[in-house]
């Protein structure tokens, strides 16, 4: 029997979300905006600001840093002098928390896996007078129980080239970004309110500047902007990159709630109200929006952008599903027509979108009725032998019920942050005997911790480290695992080296296991020749209403310090044809990235990137030099019953 599969964004980001784990303020704000209700309509959020991540003993180790014994992975901004009283200027303290410790900074370093940082913001209001500069492999994390507020001072002004209250990638005077946007990986910002309402509406300001690549996310952020006539405020500005994922974002006011372009992105659970334009789509190759709620804006989604020099459309395609647009004159603005170029540009798919008090649901096209647009509408070129043009209602799609929530939308669940769990519910792997030094065999210690935590219903906390394993790690039903700044499980040795007898590095359940597993914020990798390594194997059978979930869990095969699969080991050979030349067997680094086996069911993957490195992230020359790594297979799904959400 065929399994049910929802594929919203192929090969890079696997997306969706859950309701019960969403932090309090965002949950209630989102619901209130969608229903025009007030916060008082919903239960009072938990008033405690206690959060386990703030209080747990931080033992993260970056073993390949130049000074591993002194390097701090976790940084609390208040330890660097931030006050958070809404009066003191906390800019210097916050940037010091990010930059300390010889880290990979813009313009001085292209990328690095040896300088990770979690920069934590306790509850408070943090006044800043210039941009917060994000370094490579940095997570900015606020307290989800009492969202910290970032506010610009009235004299907020960043030096030339810096953009936004949070600047994910600054410009130099020549117009070059500090990091190559398409190679900017492994970063997160989550759990903040960015309040620009006291900043003059007539002055331009942006909440976040985010030109970025894969394995990145923005989550649970509220952007508060002026809605006064002539406002120049923007929530997010993103002009390039190769993303990426965003979820659980609220935009209030502004000229543009979001003003962005990128090669591709998956986004869900975005709420916009009282903006001039909710979303201004600058350009893309392909974009998926799900669970977008737009209310009381002039334009919902503007995808009519064109190159001023050539007149060619710059937006490739947009898919909008399971969403609503109301009290907004123009729902979607498009410039596509029979003569527009390129021929496939401006492609639009709409499915299950409610339009209420919207005069023009899709401007620029002729459609018979609003009902046809709401149900299933398409404009673009069909992928058929004749490549004919589509412009209007599409054939009705029957969604498999196993993939749906009770409201008929595709199932979603946000990454759990365990915001209400007490500190005693977490079990550190380093406290349990694992070393994470990239040398010690941590197999036995990790298995003990995982087994014990599951039996006691506790949550496994992987302190940052490189955890070398020489046998399969088994993850039993009931396990909950969370990492600190993408700790790495690194397979090593002969057990994983035989491609004729492949072995999983991580095995989630064995055939016959029933229950659920939650796993977030980690990386699985291989060391040297591992031709038989299946990095992640999923066998567990989970119920559809409580699936096994992976969030921000990535595979990285080669291209980093400690992998023995870098530029010096596996250089590119552009002048050598393979075949007839033999493959360098030392660089056959994995059998398969992920295998969802026949008995597996109820599997949910969000923002999961399965990457075989094409370049060296820790290249000493700083050039992201290309390398040659071989992986036999990417993702194999054999689930017989499903559901599987990607």
**Domain at 430, CATH number:** 2.160.20.10
Q: Based on the domain organization, do 630 and 514 belong to the same domain?
A: yes
Give 515-559 pLDDT, tens digit per residue. Answer: 999 999 999 999 999 999 999 999 999 999 999 999 999 999 999
Rounded Cα gap, residues 535 and 155, in angstroms: 50
Question: How many residues would you count in the chain?
Answer: 646
Whether the CB-CB separation of 580 and 621 falls below 8 Å is answered with no
Give 154-188 pLDDT, tens digit per residue. Answer: 999 988 899 999 999 999 989 999 999 999 999 99
Q: Based on the domain organization, do 285 and 430 belong to the same domain?
A: no
Whether 622 shows a pLDDT value over 70: the answer reads yes
Share of the chain above pLDDT 70, in %: 92
Give 43-74 pLDDT, tens digit per residue. Answer: 344 558 999 999 999 999 999 999 999 999 99
What residues form DSSP beta bridges with 469? 491
302 domain-assigned = no
The region that residue 248 occupies, defined by phi over 0 for left and psi between -120 and 50 for alpha, beta otherwise, is left
Whether 35 shows a pLDDT value over 80: the answer reads no
Q: What does pLDDT average to over the chain?
A: 92
| One-character DSSP codes across 408-458 | SSBP--PPP--TT--GGGEEETTTTT---EEEEE-HHHHHHHHHHHHHTT-
Between 34 and 85, whose confidence is greater?
85
**3-7, 127-131, 189-193: least confident range:** 3-7
Whether 507 shows a pLDDT value over 90: the answer reads yes
**73-87, 228-242, 469-483, 566-580: least confident range:** 566-580
How much is the pLDDT for 36? 35
Share of the chain above pLDDT 90, in %: 85
Whether the CB-CB separation of 554 and 215 falls below 8 Å is answered with yes
Per-residue tokens: 583: 């493959």
Most confident residue range from 39-43, 170-174, 496-500: 496-500
Q: Based on the domain organization, do 318 and 461 belong to the same domain?
A: no
Confidence band of 426 (pLDDT split at 50, 70, 90)? very high
Give 311-335 pLDDT, tens digit per residue. Answer: 999 999 999 999 999 999 999 999 9
Give 623-645 pLDDT, tens digit per residue. Answer: 999 999 999 999 999 999 999 99
Whether 29 shows a pLDDT value over 70: the answer reads no
How much is the pLDDT for 572? 95
Mean pLDDT of 198-220: 98
Confidence band of 206 (pLDDT split at 50, 70, 90)? very high
Whether 16 shows a pLDDT value over 80: the answer reads no
Q: Based on the domain organization, do 314 and 449 belong to the same domain?
A: no
How much is the pLDDT for 443? 99
How much is the pLDDT for 368? 52
Whether 18 shows a pLDDT value over 60: the answer reads no
Largest Cα–Cα distance of the chain, in whole Å?
A: 71
378 domain-assigned = no
Whether 366 shows a pLDDT value over 90: the answer reads no
Rounded Cα gap, residues 401 and 44, in angstroms: 33
Whether the CB-CB separation of 618 and 114 falls below 8 Å is answered with yes
Closest CA to 206 of 154, 139, 270, 256: 256
How much is the pLDDT for 19? 31
How much is the pLDDT for 27? 42
385 domain-assigned = no
Mean pLDDT of 27-43: 36
How much is the pLDDT for 394? 87
How much is the pLDDT for 188? 98
Residue recorded with tokens 């394993």: 469
Between 192 and 174, whose confidence is greater?
192
Q: Based on the domain organization, do 428 and 319 belong to the same domain?
A: no
382 domain-assigned = no
**76-80, 225-229, 333-337, 438-442: least confident range:** 333-337
How much is the pLDDT for 381? 87
Confidence band of 365 (pLDDT split at 50, 70, 90)? low
384 domain-assigned = no
130 domain-assigned = yes
Q: Based on the domain organization, do 313 and 445 belong to the same domain?
A: no
399 domain-assigned = no
417 domain-assigned = no
How much is the pLDDT for 391? 86
> What domain count does the chain have?
2
Between 391 and 310, whose confidence is greater?
310
Whether 8 shows a pLDDT value over 60: the answer reads no
Whether the CB-CB separation of 415 and 20 falls below 8 Å is answered with no
Q: Is 377 exposed, middle or buried (0-12, 13-18, 19+ CB in 10 A)?
A: buried
Element holding 552 (H helix, E strand):
strand 548-557
Whether 3 shows a pLDDT value over 80: the answer reads no
Q: Based on the domain organization, do 342 and 428 belong to the same domain?
A: no
Q: Based on the domain organization, do 314 and 427 belong to the same domain?
A: no
Mean pLDDT of 256-274: 98
Whether 34 shows a pLDDT value over 80: the answer reads no
Domain that holds residue 212: 18-295+307-325+336-347
Closest CA to 288 of 7, 592, 27, 491: 7
Q: Which residues contact 538 (CB under 8 A, 6 or more apart)?
A: 508, 509, 548, 594, 595, 596, 597, 600, 603
Give 65-117 pLDDT, tens digit per residue. Answer: 999 999 999 999 999 999 999 999 999 999 999 999 999 999 999 999 999 99
Q: Which residues contact 270 (CB under 8 A, 6 or more apart)?
A: 246, 247, 249, 250, 251, 258, 279, 289, 291, 292, 293
């Amino acid at each position: 029997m065929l399994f049910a599969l929802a594929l919203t964004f192929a090969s890079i980001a696997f997306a969706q979300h859950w309701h019960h784990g969403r932090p309090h303020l965002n949950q209630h704000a989102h619901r209130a905006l969608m229903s025009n209700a007030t916060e008082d309509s919903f239960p009072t959020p938990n008033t405690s600001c206690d959060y386990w991540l703030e209080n747990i003993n931080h033992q993260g180790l970056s073993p390949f840093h130049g000074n591993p014994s002194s390097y701090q992975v976790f940084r609390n901004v208040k330890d660097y002098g931030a006050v958070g009283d809404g009066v003191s200027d906390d800019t210097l303290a916050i940037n010091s928390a990010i930059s300390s410790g010889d880290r990979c900074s813009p313009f001085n370093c292209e990328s690095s896996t040896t300088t990770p940082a979690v920069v934590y913001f306790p509850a408070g209001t943090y006044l800043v007078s210039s941009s917060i500069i994000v370094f490579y492999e940095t997570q900015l994390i606020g307290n989800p129980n009492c969202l910290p507020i970032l506010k610009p001072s009235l004299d907020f002004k960043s030096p030339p080239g810096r953009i936004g209250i949070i600047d994910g990638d600054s410009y130099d005077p020549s117009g070059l970004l500090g990091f190559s946007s398409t190679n900017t990986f492994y970063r997160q910002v989550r759990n903040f309110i960015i309040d620009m309402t006291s900043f003059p509406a007539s002055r331009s300001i942006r909440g976040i500047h985010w030109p970025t690549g894969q394995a990145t996310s923005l989550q649970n952020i509220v952007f508060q902007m002026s809605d006064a006539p002539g406002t120049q405020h923007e929530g997010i500005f993103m002009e390039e990159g190769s993303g990426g994922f965003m979820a659980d974002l609220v935009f209030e006011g502004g000229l543009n709630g979001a003003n962005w372009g990128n090669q591709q992105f998956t986004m869900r659970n975005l709420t916009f109200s009282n903006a001039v334009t909710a979303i201004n789509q600058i350009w893309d190759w392909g974009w998926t929006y799900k669970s977008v709620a737009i209310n009381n804006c002039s334009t919902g989604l503007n995808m009519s952008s064109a190159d001023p020099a050539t007149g060619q459309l710059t937006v490739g395609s947009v898919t909008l599903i399971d969403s609503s647009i109301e009290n907004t004159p123009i729902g979607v603005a498009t410039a596509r027509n029979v003569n527009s170029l390129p021929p496939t540009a401006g492609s639009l798919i709409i499915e299950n979108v409610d339009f209420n008090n919207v005069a023009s649901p899709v401007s620029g096209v002729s459609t018979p009725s609003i009902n046809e647009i709401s149900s299933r509408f398409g404009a673009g070129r069909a992928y058929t032998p004749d490549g004919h043009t589509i412009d209007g209602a599409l054939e009705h799609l029957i969604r498999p019920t196993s993939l749906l929530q009770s409201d008929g939308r595709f199932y979603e669940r946000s990454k759990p942050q365990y915001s209400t769990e007490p500190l005693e519910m977490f079990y550190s792997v380093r406290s349990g005997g694992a070393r994470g030094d990239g040398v010690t065999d941590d197999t036995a210690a990790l298995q003990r911790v995982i087994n014990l935590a599951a039996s006691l219903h506790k949550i496994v906390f992987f302190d940052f480290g490189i955890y070398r394993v020489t046998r399969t790690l088994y993850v039993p039903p009931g396990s909950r695992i969370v990492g600190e700044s993408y700790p790495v499980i690194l397979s090593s040795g002969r057990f994983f080296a035989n491609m004729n007898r492949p072995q999983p590095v991580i095995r989630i359940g064995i055939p016959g296991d029933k229950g659920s597993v939650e796993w977030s914020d980690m990386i699985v990798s291989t060391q040297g020749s591992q031709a038989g390594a299946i990095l992640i194997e999923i066998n567990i059978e989970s119920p559809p209403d409580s699936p096994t979930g992976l969030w921000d869990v990535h595979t990285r095969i080669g291209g980093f310090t400690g992998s023995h699969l870098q530029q010096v080991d596996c250089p590119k050979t552009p002048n050598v044809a393979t075949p007839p030349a033999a493959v360098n067997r030392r660089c056959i680094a994995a059998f398969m990235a992920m295998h969802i086996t026949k008995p597996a069911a109820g599997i949910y993957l969000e923002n999961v990137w399965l990457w075989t490195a094409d370049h060296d992230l820790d290249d000493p020359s700083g050039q992201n030099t290309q390398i040659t790594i071989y992986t036999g297979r990417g993702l194999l799904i054999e689930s017989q019953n499903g559901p599987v959400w990607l």
